[in-house]
Each structure stands twice: as structure tokens, then as C-alpha cells.
Chain A
């Protein structure tokens, strides 16, 4: 599938809008190609590619909405799809929460599309896998990994004159390496918009090193420990917190941001003053789509400023209800940090536990954002600034809100799973039990 250009996409959308007899109409055109290769036991197990191009049409009469989709693009098919969405809309009951469609908007630039990634083919995909598999085999270890790449575009248009277009690419790789005796396991990963930045050997070597050094882990008693969370581990817990910042649930009294007696905690200092978290679709490291599904611009939003709750997300309906500007959930977040590397944080630690990543993290209490999960694929004891020996995996019961109040040190942010997250040194992190899993 070709990625349609802005002009090609607009031409199709304008053609569809010209067929409209409704009060309002919006059209969404999306196209995506994904490719993947998976391996385990040092051999490729599965590999494939998928393509999709589709058009979604929503017609509105008053507060009545109807939608239809079509993946044929001749005039007759497009007009038929428009008529069907209108037929559905005329018969639909009124939606009390419907707001008229927005008019033309201005969007910030996003640079998330790279030709290098868009042109990835099965041979290059196989090369990425081969680089990793051969590196693992040379070390007489066992690797299991997965690479997925995608390229696509999204275009929106409506009868109020709004038009938005964005194209993007992404490549994600992860590998888990295990020792032959099953007593060591290590993890490495990388995610980029530009596939030329991905070196699967680098991620694989990190996983190899962790697998080898994680053999012979000693058991520690559960309890409260100083931990250094690598960005992948820290980012997972923080992303749960960011996705729970919906204003409506806070106003309704069922969120960690609900205040006792009513109201929300906006403006309150909830976290350590070194914590500033924002989202910005124009960010050079994690460029994101600059508009919402309704075509509203996604701009830079500061969620926590020096530990203070600065903003919560407001849907268009709830924003109107509360008389504020809509603020939409971000695709990724950026947590500010310092200049120290992970190695620097380790050097500066007398006693602590280094955590590579978490596994099976699930909520325990939405009111306190308490989560449980386990460490995995590289958990080590640090003493006098050095990694002393591996330790058995722990189960944690902890809240990111509590964790970000117990901040000891913060490192330099790196990209992980579509976010920019620094390594964090946290005191009194709660490990509730031990796991024998390797």
C-alpha cells in the first residue's frame, strides 16, 4: 500500500464531503502497513505483513449520529457509504453529549515519518533478526525476540472546513536471552520512528550481559528497599498514572485526583518538586500525531509542574460542562530529568536494588493508584556504587504517587516504549514477596 500524500487524501475526503446531505459530516481516512518477525530458541518462528486502507464517514442531523465504513474508493461506493451513514443518523436516538464539529484548526509540526522505516522489507526485517540470533548463538545462549515495524497515515476532514493529515512510522524490537541452564535471563529493547537508529546487536548484547550476570541470584527478604528503576520499569508505572488523569472521573469522586469532600486535586503539590511531566507531539525524540480523533490540535501540556498537578484531561463535552478548554490524553509523555546516566546513579548508591523491567503489573486500588507486579530479566544488588550480585525477583506493591514522593535521584531521560523517561532512584520501594522465577 502506498502512503497517500496530503493532497491525495484531501482529494478523497473532499469528494466524500461533496456527497453529503447531512447537517454535519466528518470523514476519517487511514492507511497502515505493519510487518513483523518473531523468533525463539534461536530460530525464526513466525513472520508476516499486513496492509489496511479504510474510510469512515460520520453524518449528523441535529444531535443524531450515524457512521459507516468502506474500503472501496470508486465514486459509487463512496456515495453509497455516505447515504448509509445518513440513513443511520436519521434513525438514531439523540446523543445528549454531542457537540457540533470543530472548524479549521492549526496543528503543530510532527516529524514522526521516516522513509527508512516506511521502506523496510522482509529481507531487512530478517537481517535485524539474524543479527540478534547470531549474536546469541555465538554466546551459546538462547534468545527469543520480536520486531515489528509500521508506516501509515491518518487524514481527517469535516463539513466545517477542518482538515488534518499526519503520517508516521515506528519500529519496535525486544529480546529476552536465557542461559542454557535456565538460571539467567536478560532483556534488551529499542523503539524508534527511524529504523536506521535501531541496532538489534546493541539490545541483544545488553540482554546477553544481563542473562549471564543474573545467574546464581541470592534471595533477599521482602521489605522496603532503595531501588534504581531503569527507564523501562519506571516508565511503566508512570504511564499508568498519566493515563488516569481524566478530569471527569476526578470530578465524579472516583479517581486518585478526587478530593475528600468533593472537587479535585488540581493545583496541589502531589509529587516531589523535581517531577515535571509533559506531553508534546512536536518533541524531536517522541514525535506524535498532532491532532485528536475529532481533529482538535494536540499541543504541549504540562501534567505535573515541579510536583504540582497542573492539568487533567478534559473531553470536549466535559470541558464545556466545566467551562474550560478541552485537554486530550497524550500519545506519549516526557518526564524531565537530570544529566546523570544509569551508571552514574548506580555509582552513587550505597545499597540498593537495580530493576530492569516489571512484569504483569496490575492495579490493586484505583483510589491510591496502588499497583502490584514483579521484577524480571535482570534484578541486581548494588553495594558501594557497584553491582554486587544478582538477586531473586521480587513482587512489588507500590503506587507511582508514593514512589514519586520518595525520590532520591533522577537521571537523564531516554526513549522507552514511546515515552521519554529517566532512570529513577527511589527510597522505601515496597517489595511484598519473593519469586523464584528466572
Chain B
């Protein structure tokens, strides 16, 4: 096992988190096909090591912004499956009282400043949170999660420049899953590695295996330390792969646009299996314990679904609330 500063309990909780993200999204996919989830659902199955590794290096007072594909980031930052699930179902008990849905979840208390329906929309917001942190001297760092596709938006470049210029405590985490919608990164991005773009903004650019949760954790930990020393931002490119389509149900209207062998190869490098193997090899943990964690997670997800299903829809007139602060 590679060097890690993590204690046994932290390793367990990382494993639990990866399984939670996987099961949460698998459930979501099934519920969508059953017609229980309105709107669009974007899954990050196969990418669980990135949110888990990143958020393990953060504290409660740190901030994140995420994307349309943000369930994993929210769970890893402490999002409660129940409240997230209820939001997906459009219920009043959800994080946003049914107003936001999957793509727009916010949990102010948890420092989740928003999933986002606009590609690149959250990146400057994370920079702003880091700016506030530098004003207030409260040591909080902000992480902007975004995709390789988003790194072609102006918002990424403008944000990176501000952060580099002002040495803000922000970490840009580009979760490169190889595709933006239906277009492979190689057909949309002038550079092979997104991390190289860091050079233009005077910050370190680091590439990490996005399927190796401990490797992700370590690079983020280094970036957090750097941010807290006032040395500024880091761009981390975590290379991973999305097993599922861009949006659930897309096969019906776009068909398959990726080589089957490519998807199969990615599945062979399942982040959860890789991590389990490592844990077992250390002798820290027995298979039975991993099974117990998986069963416990499944129970939690089932509870979340039951909670969502039994929660009421909002009253229609509630649509008029929350436009302005009182």
C-alpha cells in the first residue's frame, strides 16, 4: 500500500463513501427508468474516487462548487442521502424544497455552494468563496469541481487568472472523464493534459490517477496546505472515466458513441475494486467487513428512497417563495 497519512477509520470511511456514491447513483438510475425522477440525471458512476479523495482532505468549513454531475461531490462533502434523494424526487423535504432538482443542489451549511446546470458556472463562485476566506482570514479553502469540457469555457480561464494573481486559497479540480456530452476530449481540447493550463496562471498543475482515491487525497492535501500557507491555487487534473452516458436515458436519442472496448477497459479499473484490493492487502480489513459496509450503505440508500417517496410534494403556491430574501 502506498504511503498514506490516513488512519484506519479514515480509510474505512473513504471506502464507505465510494460505495455510497455508487449505490446512490445506481438507485437513481433505476428510479429514473421507473419514471420516478423528473428532469435530467447525470451519473458519475466510475468516478467515485475523485470526490471521495478530494473531500477527505477538506473540513466542514471548506467550500465546494460542483457541476451537473455533482451527486458524488455533495455526498462526499457531507450531503445527506435522504435530503438529496427527496430533492431528486421534487419533494418539499429536499435540500432545495423541490425547486432545484439534481442539477442545482445547494447546502449552505455544508459549504456546498451549488451544483450547476451551466458548464463552468461554478468555477468563479469557488474563487469568490476563496476570496472571502482570504478577507476573513478563516483558513477555509474552496474547491471548484469541473469537467474537462468546462476547462474550455471562459469562466475557467478568467477564474484561474484571478486566483493565480491574488494567490487565493482555491483548488481547481478538473475531473477529466474523457468526454463532454458526446464529444471526446481529444476532439474538443487543444492540449492533451488539462493540467498544463496551470502554467498560464502561475500555479502548479498536477495530474493524478482519478481512480486511485489515496493518490487523489494526497495531491489535494498538498494543495490545501499550499493554499493555507497563502501560496495560492493549484490545478489538479484527475483522470478518470464515466461508465454511464452523459445523461440517463440518452441511448434512446443518441445511441452509443463510445467504443465498447473503451468502456470495458475502464470497468476493469473500477476505483472501488482497486481500493478494496489495497485495503485487503494491508490486512487492515477483511472481506466480511467490506461486505458489512456495503450492506449498511444499501440500507441507508433504501431509507433515503423511502423517505423521498413518502415526502409530500410542495404546495403549488410555494413556487412563489424564495425569490428574494425577506
Whether A and B are associated in the same complex: the answer reads no
List residues of A whose CB falls within 8 A of some B CB.
none
Contact surface of B with A, Cβ cutoff 8 Å: none
